[in-house]
Amino acid sequence: MLKKGNKLYSILTGTCPKCHEESMYEDKNPYHIGNIFKMNERCSHCGTKYKIEPSFFYGAMYVSYGVGVAFAVATFIIAFVMFKATLINTFIAIIVTMIIFMPFIIRVSRNIWINFFVKYDPKAAKVNS
Ligand SMILES: [Zn+2]
């Protein structure tokens, strides 16, 4: 289901939105917190510049708000509806979930944000490969 050429592939793997061949990040693991915002400047495969304009990725904060709410709602449904937890325990579960997934949410939000602006280009993927 998840193939190169699908926006979801780039969003979930953090690969270049144009060619899907290279990771945008210096360190692929978002849980190495010190490196979480370190991105390569350009794709080494197709040359796409990731930071389209200065402070481009500030926009990703709006996306992370939406992604964060989605995680909170999902946790609420799982804890409160499925496990019949009390409200206070549900609240704690939401906080814990947010903390655990925060690095993932930050990365995914950036990936979603750049995928709004850069389209997959099969020709870019073929260059050099
Ligand atoms: Zn690329």
pLDDT tens, residue by residue, 62-110: 999 999 999 999 999 999 999 999 999 999 999 999 999 999 999 999 9
Phi, psi dihedral angles at 115 (to 5 degrees) = -75, -15
**Are 112 and 67 within 8 A, CB to CB?**
yes
pTM comes to: 0.91
pLDDT digits (tens, 9 = 90+) for 22-78: 999 999 999 999 999 999 999 999 999 999 999 999 999 999 999 999 999 999 999
Neighbours of 43 (CB within 10 A): 22
CA of 114 to the centre of ligand 1 (A): 12
Q: Which residues contact 82 (CB under 8 A, 6 or more apart)?
A: none
Q: Which residues contact 116 (CB under 8 A, 6 or more apart)?
A: none
CA of 88 to the centre of ligand 1 (A): 46
Distance between terminal CA atoms of the chain?
23
CA of 23 to the centre of ligand 1 (A): 8
pLDDT at position 7, please? Answer: 95
pLDDT at position 3, please? Answer: 87
CA of 6 to the centre of ligand 1 (A): 14
Neighbours of 42 (CB within 10 A): 15
CA of 123 to the centre of ligand 1 (A): 10
CA of 15 to the centre of ligand 1 (A): 8
